[in-house]
Amino acid sequence: MITFDNIKSGKLSLDTTTVEDYDPILEEPSSRYTLTELADIFGSDKGSIKHNYTNVYENILSSLRFSHVRLVEVGIACGASLKMWSNYFSNGEIIGADINEDCKKLCSSYKNVEIRIKDATLETVAEQFDIFVDDGSHISKDILSTFNLHWAELKSGGWYFIEDLRCTHNEEYKQQTVVQKPDEYFDRRYFLKLIDAITKACDNRWDVAQIIYTPQLISIKKA
């Protein structure tokens, strides 16, 4: 059973995490662990430690587990979720992007992980991928900018995920975040503009096949 005792204090992949490698030893082959178990082992907040996103991810992505998928995640923190993805998609290619130069030193022992220091709101992180996870700044305008840059690169049938959406309507988040952006960027209307666009695209059978909303996480499948 995975508990908090399995995780070193201060190693959780949260917004305030210090960039520091943490490599626990898996007692079994990675294929024997669920995504939630892997998240908890590596200290990712995607698992039962905090958000429980991994239940949603596994329901959607489990059929791809042993395929050669290309996954891009924006927002690295201490690299916990990249290590989780690396073990879950052992035949896949994992690309992590962050604006923090210190993140470049992470995950060096993970052969299928590549880290790119880029601002995903200003430039495309990668081309032609199967899965995209936006765990970046959680700022409303940044979410929209990142989507507009990367949706075209998502392959047909692929999935685009946006996490921590409570931040778009949490008045305290502006004070809590370490990311310095103009106050106007936090305006929820940018995220609502995205919601308006993707629901219309889905209704009209354009390039959005399916939208799933669970607490703080939206999952968008490309047609």
Task: Give catalytic residues, as residue numbers.
Answer: 138
> How far is 38 from 42, CA to CA, in rounded Å?
6
Strand partners of residue 72 = 95, 132
As a whole number of angstroms, the distance between CA 126 and CA 150 comes to 8
Query: Residue 65 is encoded by which pair of tokens?
Result: 């587990």
Helix (H, G, I), strand (E, B) or coil at 184: helix
Alpha-helical regions (H) of the chain: 35-42, 53-61, 80-88, 140-150, 173-176, 189-203
Using DSSP, state whether 21 is helix, strand or coil: coil
Other Cβ atoms within 10 Å of 19 Cβ, number = 16
Amino acid at 126: A
Rounded Cα gap, residues 156 and 177, in angstroms: 34
